[in-house]
Amino acid sequence: LGAERVLVLTNGIGVVDVSAASPDHQVASDAIDAERIEILRGPAALAYGGQAIGGVVNVIDGLIVERLPEDGFSADAFAAYTSVNDGTEAAGRGQFVNGPFVFTLSASARDLADFDIPGEAESAALIALEEAEMPGIEHEEGAGGTVENSFVETQSVAAGVSWVGESGFLGLAVRQQTSTYGLPGHEHEEDHEGEGGEAHAEEELPFIDMEQTRVDLRGGWTIDRAGLTDLIVTLSDADYEHTEFEGPGVPGTVFKSDGTEARVELGHDVSGVAGALGLQYVDKEIGAFGDEAFLTPTTTEGLAVFAYETIDWDNGFGLEGGARLEQLDLSNQVVGDRSFDLFSASLGAHMHWNNGWFFGAQLAHTERAPNETELFADGPHLATAQYEIGTYSLEPETGLNSEVSLRWQSETTRVGINLFVTDFSDFIYLAPGAGEVDGLPVFVFSQQDADFHGGEIYGEWTWHEGWAGASWTADASVEFVEAELASGADVPFIPPLTWNAGAEASWRLWTIGGDVSIAADQDDPGAGQLPTDGYVLANLRAALDLGELGFGRAGSEAFLEVRNLGDEEVRYATSVLKDTVPAPGRGARIGVRWTY
């Protein structure tokens, strides 16, 4: 969905980067050293943003702790090697307890070279289009095998200290993250004059050099009186900057994003009604600088109040609801100011029966203000090979979402179906414009009504002491989404019909499994996009339980994975770069995960 309709957070606070400005900008949050990842939908998601109609992904890094750990010292480590990109990954964490204080250190690194692919980087559809538009153009035979400039190098170091008492906690954490990564699919040629005045073309390989420093402060206090349970206060400040280099030593556009976010949540439980009331404040500035900058500096200031409530009865019936009222002010140095008053609300109901049946339904009204890029962009965006133009007059995007879920569950079986319908008023999207500017096709942020609907049918099965004496699990699902604008045109970047299946067997120290995804062709790509071929993607995995062997605690393992077993050409219809950057080909990944 993009544009933060799926909201990515770190410890419940925005990541403060520029990933929403472009689909190829890396999110400044890395799950490699995360303690856990939360997925929030429905009323609970409104506590973090009314725009998150697709849900919230909250990465918990564990640098600030709320309870004293049982162990005075703990550590965990991870290391892996991947053959498809000659890539190495490593992460480590240590935690030490001294009285009421808990000290946490964390570090991670990735070094991934250009990844291998089974065929050409350009899709057959794009090659055919180029040959039709430019008869006689020659495509180099056998030029495939690697996606040039797809390398990634990241490093992250972090530290946290927490004080934990009988009735509360207070913690401070600092994280420094750097990353250098190529922009595959954006290579372009520059003409240079060689010796003797002979002109030649030199290919430039653009890349991004990114750095972010983030400081988090969080405290909580237990109240347990007058129906109030606790008070949680969070404050975060982050400075982000990245430079888009047109080639080694040739800096181009510089993106900067500095932001501060604060949250206060007051929990309560009154007569079985449990939830939280909260206040959220955001102040951030984002801008692009340089000759090819497409977004002039913009300040965003927002204030929101929210509530989230749940109640469950003994008969299995329950209700949950949430609401959010928000004021958002955006000020651009060149174009001017825009202000928005937004209201979002969600109500859900569910019923559990003793015979294993469950039914749930949810209705949500959401309002999303256009972001900085959608309003104020005007310039070449080389990272997406587009000339992007924002529209100052855009109105808030409103969504009316309804979902139903039905499932049956026993000790060994779980089957169900989920269906959703979302009607957007003034849906914001990037539409093809007229002509080109500086050799780049023009795209304009536009809006019109749109309809999304889709669903999932799934099943999960477990057999204890099954075939060959192993414990088996299996799952299967089918997913579909359709989206259409009011004009009758298809919404771009929608996933195709997809079937998934997997199985896993555990026997003594070993766990062996595999999964397969079968995606249909996407023949309704939307205006300005090309169709995407389907694929069959199969993976295998085997793991040895090191904890049972006495090397580490439960969860310690050595593993071997084979991804894309059939070496298929895989292109995701949801990717802006699908026609120039396919997914990696077949590769093995071997690693170890250890905890103490």
> Half-sphere exposure of residue 328, counting CA atoms within 13 Å on the CB side?
22
User: In the predicted model, what is the mean pLDDT of residues 403-428?
Assistant: 96
**3-class DSSP assignment, residue 515:** strand
Residue 142 is predicted with a pLDDT of 47
Residue 194 is predicted with a pLDDT of 45
Q: What percent of the chain has pLDDT over 90?
A: 63
Quick: pLDDT tens for 47-78. 888 777 777 888 888 899 999 998 899 999 99
Among 6-10, 103-107, 161-165, 402-406, the range scoring the smallest mean pLDDT is 6-10
- Torsion angle in degrees (nearest 10) through CA of 210, 256, 11, 308: -150
Quick: pLDDT tens for 337-349. 999 999 999 999 9
Residue 22 is predicted with a pLDDT of 57
Residue 200 is predicted with a pLDDT of 41
Residue found by looking up tokens 């569910």 in the block: 350
- Nearest of 190, 186, 219 to residue 203 by alpha carbon: 190
pLDDT band at 376 (very low <50, low <70, confident <90, very high): very high
pLDDT exceeds 90 at position 546: yes
Q: What mean pLDDT is reported for the chain?
A: 89
Asked if 118 and 585 touch (Cβ cutoff 8 Å), the reply is yes
Residue 534 is predicted with a pLDDT of 96
pLDDT band at 539 (very low <50, low <70, confident <90, very high): very high
- Torsion angle in degrees (nearest 10) through CA of 64, 68, 73, 75: -40
And the tokens for 392? 């100052």
pLDDT exceeds 70 at position 18: no
Residue 198 is predicted with a pLDDT of 44
Among 20-34, 46-60, 135-149, 335-349, the range scoring the smallest mean pLDDT is 20-34
Residues 399 and 529: their CA atoms lie apart, in Å, by 25
* Domains of the chain: residue spans and CATH: 6-114+149-463 (2.40.170.20)
pLDDT exceeds 80 at position 195: no
Q: Between 257 and 323, name the one with better pLDDT.
A: 323
